[in-house]
A and B are shown apart, each in its own frame.
Chain A
Amino acid sequence: GAVVSQHPSRVICKSGTSVKIECRSLDFQATTMFWYRQFPKKSLMLMATSNEGSKATYEQGVEKDKFLINHASLTLSTLTVTSAHPEDSSFYICSARVDRVDKNIQYFGAGTRLSVL
């Protein structure tokens, strides 16, 4: 399958700090990338859909000023958690989609575990 690289894998930061997470598609170009958040023992929650060269589409209830998404190229999308607080502590996972004529498969990055003190 396709490779999606996510960095960093773990972040521990103080409250009020901004944290930037990178997501790269290594062997394919991804017009669309997705950002998910997952709390312990819960399923994936889609936060936003990131489209190359345009503004991200945020899901209901997700603050766009809090979670800044930039999809500057076909292989890179970034999520910045601004002024992080303890309630933002979670597992953040990016996903990139391979677009083919009849198959659209999403591959996931390894995830970033964010702990805000």
Chain B
Amino acid sequence: QKEVEQNSGPLSVPEGAIASLNCTYSDRGSQSFFWYRQYSGKSPELIMSIYSNGDKEDGRFTAQLNKASQYVSLLIRDSQPSDSATYLCAVRGKRLQAQLWSRKNEAAGNKLTFGGGTRVLVKP
């Protein structure tokens, strides 16, 4: 089982509709969750971060986190052609007290794990 899983898509959405992206993760101790958008040939850019259960809204984007079910989702309202991109879900593990971990383990625990990304196509 992959640590962070996403449907690769493509997710085809008509302009103006809501795009719904899902992401599941395997590490129950995960603390931080992020959605990045990556245009073809470009590097990822941060869209949303979420740390506690519930919804977090920022403009047309809403992130939803459910730690009990180990999933995080992203809703894009009023989708625009410019939203066409690959959306990467990223999860960071639990940080443990430094004195209990070796440097390698601490680094591993703080590592951001990415899903494979969901490609979204918004059609005019």
Contact = CB atoms under 8 A, between A and B. Distances in A.
Interface in B32-83: 32, 34, 36, 41-46, 49, 51
A57 B104 contact: yes
Contacts of B104: 57
Given A104-B92, A110-B42, A34 B112 contact: yes
Contact of B49 (A44, A93, A103, A113): A103
Interface in A70-107: 91, 93, 95, 97, 102-107
Interface residues of B, number: 25
B110 A104 contact: yes
Contacts of B90: 106
Contacts of B107: 32, 49, 51, 57
3 closest A-B pairs (Cβ-Cβ)? A111-B43, A108-B43, A43-B116
Interface of A: 1, 6, 32, 34, 42-44, 46, 49, 51, 54, 57, 91, 93, 95, 97, 102-111, 113
8 contacts: A32-B110, A44-B44, A54-B103, A57-B103, A57-B104, A57-B108, A106-B46, A108-B44
Given A44-B44, A44-B114, A103-B32, 10 more contacts: A32-B107, A43-B117, A46-B112, A49-B107, A49-B111, A54-B103, A57-B103, A102-B51, A104-B110, A109-B43
